[in-house]
């Protein structure tokens, strides 16, 4: 597995009431990540976290790291509070699209092949608050325009049910596939965040199969939560079997991209939290090497699930008499 981390989680983080961990500059974050077994990639946030392209390349070389993706933020600017890509103001929409294009320019300059964007400011809270059809057209037009800029750098759209809006316009795998198709597909992909999928009521493995079956490129974020909110726990703490199935399906569809930890350490040791993601994922990969996948596949859709469950009891849960 190619493992990476969204570097914002390597330093100080905060919620509504508390701050956690120590503020670090990018050099210190990279140094910390390089000390954690299993990791070789970073996802850095544009434009707020990144230095010049030349400086970033120097830091990457210094710590022997690669860029998994450039994460473009289109929610933090004051103008984006009520939506950037879907704003009723054409000037605000143009600024949001410019952010996407500039992130792609930056990605090209540092040798990254993808940009990912989670349009969290684009959504609504109440009935009669937005023109849904107009908002959808704005989203489609914005992503189509950004995708046409430097098409060799794929723009991945990350969906999330809510935050910072009460309901995000791009809130499911199926709707993201629709968005990409409406925008013309070329140069666009889907970022599938395990936790977003879970608390959106999806099965992440099924979501991965859906995106793959649509022919749209896939990029993966890993974490976990309780299905009620996006807590960004480390992997397997709440949905272990679903995570095993997720990795099994990604293997089945031939996914060979990055697994980027979108995980927030908060009260737990930073290095230990990300090492737990790597350790569990690596052990599951070894488990999948041994798992009788042909036996599982042969029973799919038929009446033989009880035999599959027996296999899971012994091979996945390690339960024996």
Enter the tokens of residue 312: 């899971």
User: Under 8 Å CB-to-CB from 9, ≥6 apart: which residues?
Assistant: 232, 261, 262, 263, 264, 265, 270, 274
For residue 276, pLDDT over 90 is answered with yes
User: Under 8 Å CB-to-CB from 204, ≥6 apart: which residues?
Assistant: 192, 194, 197, 198, 242, 243, 245, 246
Closest CA to 297 of 228, 225, 249: 249
Per-residue pLDDT, averaged over 283-294, amounts to 97
pLDDT at residue 294, rounded to an integer: 96
**Cα–Cα distance measured from residue 274 to residue 257, given in angstroms and rounded to the nearest whole number:** 18
Q: pLDDT tens across 227-257, in order?
A: 999 999 999 999 999 999 999 999 999 999 9
SS3 256: coil
pLDDT at residue 228, rounded to an integer: 96
Q: pLDDT tens across 2-39, in order?
A: 999 999 999 999 998 999 999 999 999 999 999 999 99
**Cα–Cα distance measured from residue 106 to residue 46, given in angstroms and rounded to the nearest whole number:** 8
CA distance from start to end of the chain: 33
User: Under 8 Å CB-to-CB from 166, ≥6 apart: which residues?
Assistant: 123, 124, 125, 126
pLDDT at residue 16, rounded to an integer: 87
Whether residue 47 has a cis bond before it, omega within 30° of 0: yes
Question: What CATH architecture applies to the domain 2-290?
Answer: Alpha-Beta Barrel (3.20)
Cβ neighbour number for residue 119 with a 10 Å cutoff: 28
**Cα–Cα distance measured from residue 24 to residue 10, given in angstroms and rounded to the nearest whole number:** 8
Enter the tokens of residue 119: 């349009």
For residue 77, pLDDT over 90 is answered with yes
Whether the CB-CB separation of 170 and 119 falls below 8 Å is answered with yes
Q: pLDDT tens across 48-74, in order?
A: 999 999 999 999 999 999 999 999 999
Alpha helices, DSSP H, located in the chain: 26-34, 53-63, 90-110, 132-148, 173-182, 194-199, 204-213, 240-252, 270-290, 293-299, 305-315
Closest CA to 202 of 235, 232, 170, 161: 161
**Cα–Cα distance measured from residue 228 to residue 319, given in angstroms and rounded to the nearest whole number:** 29
Q: Model confidence at 1, in pLDDT bands (50, 70, 90)?
A: very high
Sign of the Cα torsion 102, 105, 110, 116 reads positive
Domain ranges (residues) in the chain: 2-290, 294-321
Per-residue pLDDT, averaged over 125-144, amounts to 98
Q: pLDDT tens across 161-210, in order?
A: 999 999 999 999 999 999 999 999 799 999 999 999 999 999 999 999 99
Q: Model confidence at 271, in pLDDT bands (50, 70, 90)?
A: very high
């Amino acid at each position: 597995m190619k493992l990476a981390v969204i570097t914002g989680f390597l330093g100080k983080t905060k919620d509504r009431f508390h701050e956690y961990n120590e503020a670090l500059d990018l050099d210190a974050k990279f140094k910390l990540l390089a000390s954690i077994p299993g990791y070789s990639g970073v996802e850095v946030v544009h434009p707020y976290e990144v230095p010049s392209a030349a400086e970033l390349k120097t830091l990457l070389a210094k710590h022997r790291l690669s860029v998994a993706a450039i994460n473009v933020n289109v929610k933090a600017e004051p103008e984006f509070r009520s939506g950037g890509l879907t704003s009723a103001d054409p000037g605000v929409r143009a600024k949001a699209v410019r952010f996407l294009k500039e992130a792609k320019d930056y990605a090209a300059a540092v040798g990254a092949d993808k940009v990912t964007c989670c349009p969290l400011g684009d959504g609504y809270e109440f009935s009669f608050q937005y023109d849904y059809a107009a908002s959808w057209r704005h989203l489609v037009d914005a992503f189509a325009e950004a995708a046409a800029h430097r098409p060799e750098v794929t723009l991945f759209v990350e969906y999330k049910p809510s935050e910072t809006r009460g309901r995000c316009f791009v809130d499911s795998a199926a709707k993201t596939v629709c968005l990409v198709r409406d925008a013309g597909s070329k140069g666009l992909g889907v970022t599938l965040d395990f936790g977003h999928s879970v608390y959106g009521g999806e099965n992440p493995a099924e979501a991965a199969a859906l995106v793959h079956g649509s022919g749209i490129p896939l990029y993966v974020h890993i974490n976990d939560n309780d299905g009620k909110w996006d807590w960004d726990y480390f992997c397997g703490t709440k949905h272990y079997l679903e995570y095993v199935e997720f990795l099994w399906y990604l293997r089945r569809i031939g996914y060979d991209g990055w697994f980027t930890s979108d995980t927030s350490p908060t009260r737990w040791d930073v290095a230990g939290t990300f090492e737990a993601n790597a350790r569990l994922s690596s052990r599951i990969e070894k488990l999948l090497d041994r798992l009788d996948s042909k036996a599982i596949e042969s029973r799919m859709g038929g009446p033989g699930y009880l035999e599959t469950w027996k296999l899971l009891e012994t091979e996945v849960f390690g339960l024996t008499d």
